[in-house]
Amino acid sequence: MNGEQDFPDPTSLCQPQGVHGPSQAIDTSSFYWEDQCWVNPPLENYLLYELHTGTFTPEGTFQSLESKLDYLKALGVNAIEIMPIAQFSDSRNWGYDGVYTYAAQSSYGGASALQHLINTCHYKGIAVVLDVVYNHFGPEGNYLGEFGPYLTDKYCTPWGKAVNFDDALCDGVRRYVIENALMWFRDFHVDALRLDAVHAIKDFSPVHILQELRADVDRLMAVTGRRHYLLVESDLNDPRFINPLSHEGYGMDSQWMDEFHHALRVAIGEAKIGYYADFNGIAHLAKAYQDGYVYDGQYSEVRQKVFGRKAGNNPGEQFIVFSQNHDQVGNRKLGERSSTLYSYEALKLLAGAVLISPYIPLLFMGEEWAETNPFFYFVSHSEPELVESVQQGRMAEFAAFHSGGEVPDPQSDETYEQAKLQWNLLEEEPHRVLLRYYQTLIALRQQLPALYHLDRRKLAVFCHQEQETLIVHRWYENQQVLCLMNFSKQSQTIYIPTVGEANTPWQKLLDSADPEWQLPDESQPGSAPESVSGSEAVLCQPESIIIYAQHHEQSRFHLPAPISPKLYLS
């Protein structure tokens, strides 16, 4: 590069010998696309499934991921969200340490395998969301400083110097990021990008980098006729990020809603420590259903300040909710999934709480069958000082947050292997029953207009803190849905509110305590009545959800065929 030393190309599309090796020129335009008839679904119809390429299958490649697409389709998933695939050191990494933003990870199969995966997804009716990281660049193999002022010490971030979006000579850096986003949309046919931690993007330019990105993506869509979405992770509770450009917003299409997760987990029994200390459970979960943000102008004990703004005018599809994701599992000390933290009944309640929400639901790989393997944080750096720094950092992070057990070594191959999904569990109980339960819930959501129309104005919530019960009422035209949730560990009597049509009985569509969702060796609790009227009492079993509806017949609800595990185990 400088006549004395060679460096990889910052815009390299291929690093076959890793982050320190030479860049290989490839032609991404030579791929033969067969998705001309593909139409990206409306965002409100998305059902997201977050996965990590390396641990989703035993082989950990884009090609092997393709073999599971029919399974995801049978489950009811219509959009996969792939954790970052920008080239990182070696082969074990969450992806947030990528240093070649334009290069698809070589150990996953590289650019052509990614294109083939996306082409196949579209053929099977599945949208592809790619997680990208524009708030920092990874440490190992990062030679960007040799080419220009990509970083600035004007701001301090958790990863050191900030990406230079508004300091001297920032114009080229801004184009570097925007052209990368456009490349994924244009050359790889990605349907949406999930932008990691945009609250860590420091930019006080007159036009924020996200606004500039939104405008450029809009121009691309006008040329190609394809629809693309920009999704963000933000913990600022600021609707400016998701407000349109015409309203002085940044124009992002939707954002992850961590506060829904936090309130839900406290409601189910999570200890109120760390960031959970700000949440009281049922009441805050009710507020999340109604208002999106839990904190929208109240004092936060954890942050020690008044926090957030109201998002009253933002539609339901602008919020993405979940009971698990890579962060909330992997950033626990022992990487525990919900399946090892809560009861089997609680798992069904958590799933129901997410899937009846007026927001876009996201599942984390394996949660639908109660995967028991942990999902640890893992890396595979080659620089000893960096390895030690990561190891010490993980131990310091959990010094006070969680007790018990040693912090798994992020550098260990065993840590990585333990995080891989166990597809053989699909043939065992309780995993097989839970999988069918998820499949049923998803079908209900996708077939009932009162659930799949994300109109936050057509929602009411009835909260009973002492009972630890919640009723969510949703409707669309004349169809009404009532969701009764009992978060306590005792049976609770819940009275049907006087909503809907007074002379029309409520018909039961699902009860998580019904025998078909119970394990064979467990005693069967009492089932809720098949039909009830307004003001009638219903006995709700511990940690359960019951869904009633009026005028659901018009939806012609049908349950898809059960998933056959043997088809997806090879």
pLDDT in tens, 214-255: 999 999 999 999 999 999 999 999 999 999 999 999 999 999
Place of tokens 């995080």: 419
**Predicted local distance difference test score (pLDDT) of residue 566:** 79
**Predicted local distance difference test score (pLDDT) of residue 106:** 97
Residue 411 has pLDDT above 70, yes or no: yes
Count the Cβ atoms, other than its own, within 10 Å of residue 413: 12
- Say if 486 falls within a structural domain: yes
Q: What is the mean pLDDT of residues 285-289?
A: 98
pLDDT band at 560 (very low <50, low <70, confident <90, very high): confident
**Predicted local distance difference test score (pLDDT) of residue 399:** 59
Whether residue 199 is annotated as binding a ligand: the answer is: yes
**Predicted local distance difference test score (pLDDT) of residue 400:** 55
**Predicted local distance difference test score (pLDDT) of residue 397:** 65
**Predicted local distance difference test score (pLDDT) of residue 100:** 97
Residue 387 has pLDDT above 80, yes or no: no
Predicted confidence (pLDDT) per residue in 9-31, tens digit:
999 999 999 999 999 999 999 99
Among the listed residues 50, 167, 196, 253, the single catalytic one is 196
**Predicted local distance difference test score (pLDDT) of residue 382:** 83
- Pairing of β 469-476 and β 319-321: unpaired
Of 480, 478, 473, 441, nearest to 456 by C-alpha is 473
Mean pLDDT taken over the chain: 94
**Hey, which residues does 283 pair with through a beta bridge?**
none
Of 102, 208, 213, nearest to 165 by C-alpha is 208
Of 237, 235, 350, nearest to 298 by C-alpha is 237
**Hey, which residues does 50 pair with through a beta bridge?**
81, 364
- Say if 185 falls within a structural domain: no
Q: What is the mean pLDDT of residues 130-139?
A: 95
**Predicted local distance difference test score (pLDDT) of residue 404:** 63
Q: What is the mean pLDDT of residues 411-427?
A: 95
Alpha helices in 317-423 (DSSP H): 326-330, 338-341, 344-355, 384-397, 413-418
Residue 91 gets which letter from DSSP? S
Residue 562 has pLDDT above 80, yes or no: yes
Among the listed residues 9, 166, 233, 543, the single catalytic one is 233
pLDDT band at 403 (very low <50, low <70, confident <90, very high): low
Residue 570 has pLDDT above 70, yes or no: no
Predicted confidence (pLDDT) per residue in 475-503, tens digit:
999 999 999 999 999 999 999 999 999 88
Whether residue 34 is annotated as binding a ligand: the answer is: no
Residue 360 has pLDDT above 80, yes or no: yes
Whether residue 194 is annotated as binding a ligand: the answer is: yes
Of 93, 101, 212, nearest to 147 by C-alpha is 101
Q: What is the mean pLDDT of residues 170-187?
A: 98
**Hey, which residues does 142 pair with through a beta bridge?**
none
pLDDT band at 182 (very low <50, low <70, confident <90, very high): very high
Give catalytic status of residue 216 as yes or no. no
**What whole-number percentage of the chain has pLDDT above 70?**
97
- Say if 294 falls within a structural domain: no
CATH of the domain at 472: 2.60.40.1180
**Predicted local distance difference test score (pLDDT) of residue 554:** 73
Residue 57 has pLDDT above 80, yes or no: yes
Q: Are 532 and 538 in contact (CB under 8 A)?
A: yes
Whether residue 196 is annotated as binding a ligand: the answer is: yes
Count the Cβ atoms, other than its own, within 10 Å of residue 396: 10
Q: Are 441 and 351 in contact (CB under 8 A)?
A: yes
**Predicted local distance difference test score (pLDDT) of residue 389:** 79
- Say if 401 falls within a structural domain: no
Whether residue 197 is annotated as binding a ligand: the answer is: yes
Burial class, 447, CB count within 10 angstroms (exposed 0-12 / middle 13-18 / buried 19+):
middle
Residue 553 has pLDDT above 90, yes or no: no
**Predicted local distance difference test score (pLDDT) of residue 303:** 96
- Say if 341 falls within a structural domain: no
Residue 307 gets which letter from DSSP? E
**Predicted local distance difference test score (pLDDT) of residue 158:** 84
Whether residue 399 is annotated as binding a ligand: the answer is: no
**Predicted local distance difference test score (pLDDT) of residue 225:** 96
Q: Is 430 left (phi over 0), alpha (psi -120 to 50) or beta?
A: alpha
Whether residue 328 is annotated as binding a ligand: the answer is: yes
Which H or E run contains 507? strand 506-511
Residue 402 has pLDDT above 60, yes or no: no
- Say if 236 falls within a structural domain: no
Of 512, 510, 538, nearest to 350 by C-alpha is 512
Of 2, 17, 176, nearest to 101 by C-alpha is 176
The number of angstroms, rounded, from the C-alpha of 438 to the middle of its chain's C-alpha atoms is 16
What is the domain count for the chain?
1
- Say if 184 falls within a structural domain: no
Q: Are 472 and 356 in contact (CB under 8 A)?
A: yes
Give catalytic status of residue 233 as yes or no. yes
**Predicted local distance difference test score (pLDDT) of residue 383:** 84
Residue 496 gets which letter from DSSP? P
Count the Cβ atoms, other than its own, within 10 Å of residue 159: 18
Whether residue 52 is annotated as binding a ligand: the answer is: no
Domain extent at residue 506: 458-555
Residue 502 gets which letter from DSSP? T
